[in-house]
A = this chain, B = another copy of it.
Amino acid sequence: MTARIREFLRTRREDGPCMVLDLDVVRDNYNAFARALPDTRVFYAVKANPSPEVLHLLATLGSCFDTASVAEIEMALAAGATADRISFGNTIKKERDVARAYALGIRLFAVDCLAEVEKIARAAPGSKVFCRILCDGAGAEWPLSRKFGCVPEMAADVLEHAHRNGLEAYGVSFHVGSQQRNTEAWDQALASSAAIFRECAERGITLSMVNLGGGFPTKYLKEVPAVERYGDSIFQALSKHFGNRLPETIIEPGRGMVGNAGLIEAEVVLISKKSEDDDVRWVYLDIGKFGGLAETMDESIRYPIRTRHDGDEMTPCVLAGPTCDSADVMYEKEPYPLPVSLSIGDKVLIEGAGAYTTTYSAVAFNGFPPLRSYVI
Contact = CB atoms under 8 A, between A and B. Distances in A.
Chain A at the B interface: SS class? loop
Given A324-B366, A376-B8, A274 B146 contact: yes
A144 B328 CA distance: 10
Given A92-B284, A290-B362, A358-B370, 7 more contacts: A145-B332, A147-B326, A154-B275, A154-B276, A291-B370, A361-B370, A363-B363
A151 to B, nearest CB: 4
Contact of A21 (B8, B94, B376): B376
A49 to B, nearest CB: 8
Interface in A98-121: 112-116, 119
Contacts of A362: 290, 361-362, 365, 370
B366 A323 contact: yes
A305 interface: no
Contacts of A290: 360, 362, 365-366, 368
Interface string A118-151: 0100000000000000100000001011111111
A111 to B, nearest CB: 10
Contacts of A327: 145, 297
**Listed residue (A16, A134, A374) with the most chain B CB atoms within 10 angstroms of its CB:** A374
A370 B91 CA distance: 28
Interface residues of A, number: 94
Given A115-B344, A147-B326, A326-B144, A371 B92 contact: no
A17 interface: yes
A365 B370 CA distance: 11
A376 B20 contact: yes
**Listed residue (A45, A51, A115, A376) with the most chain B CB atoms within 10 angstroms of its CB:** A376
Given A274-B151, A365-B323, A357 B371 contact: yes
A159 interface: no
Contacts of A84: none
Number of copies: 2
Given A275-B154, A375-B21, A68 B148 contact: no
B368 A272 contact: no
A54 interface: yes
A372 B325 contact: no
Contacts of A146: 274, 332
Interface stretch (A28-36, A220-228, A263-271, A309-317): A263-271
